[in-house]
Amino acid sequence: MAKAQILIVEDDRDLREALVTTLELAKFRVREASNAHEALARLAEAPVDMVVSDVNMPGLSGHELLGEVQRLYPGLPMMLITAYGQISHAVSAMQSGAVDYLVKPFEPKVLVDAVSKVVGGSRQKSGDEPVAEDPASKRIFQLAAKVAGSDSTVMISGESGTGKEVLARYIHQQS
């Protein structure tokens, strides 16, 4: 099974190329965007497993992109990177749903480890895991995996035959 698909959003071309190369060398599939608007267009074209975005970009900032990603693609993990490491911004980003916040410069291994921690690299599916092809279904299972890692109670509701039991079993197995 191929490793996860990552979308890199960075306005600095040289740094974007370095981030892409770093993740490709770690066998991730990588797409790229030079700004937040381009990133939203890429996400509309095809789903990804994670977004890694710079914070300071012209137009929409990484924090604003995080808000749009959370609104349009709930459960899609997003990591922010910045050259300006302020604790208050990192806390705000994490509270807004960012899965991690890296301060530049960082070693390539730090990026690879952080991304692997979120998307699991090339982890093979067990025979018990659900198969989801629809982008909306994939996002539901990404959100379910995120919830499974927390200490929260979950209530699943829906019409008969929509897969509530499958989702409940998946959350239980991932907990």
Q: For the chain, what percent of residues have pLDDT higher than 70? A: 83
With vertex at residue 168, the alpha carbon angle to CA 164 and CA 170, rounded to the nearest 5 degrees, is 115
- What pLDDT is attached to residue 135? 66
**What confidence category does residue 168 fall into, taking pLDDT thresholds of 50, 70 and 90?**
confident
Q: Tens of pLDDT along 32-45?
A: 999 999 999 999 99
Q: Tens of pLDDT along 79-135?
A: 999 887 666 666 677 777 788 888 888 889 999 998 988 887 444 444 455 666 666
Give the predicted TM-score (pTM) of the model: 0.68
As a whole number of angstroms, the distance between CA 48 and CA 31 comes to: 9
- What pLDDT is attached to residue 17? 95
Element (H, E) at 7: strand 5-9
Q: Counting runs of H as helices and runs of E as strands, what totals does the chain give?
A: 7, 5
> Does pLDDT of 154 surpass 90?
no
The rounded radius of gyration (Å) of the Cα atoms in the chain is 16
> Does pLDDT of 60 surpass 80?
yes
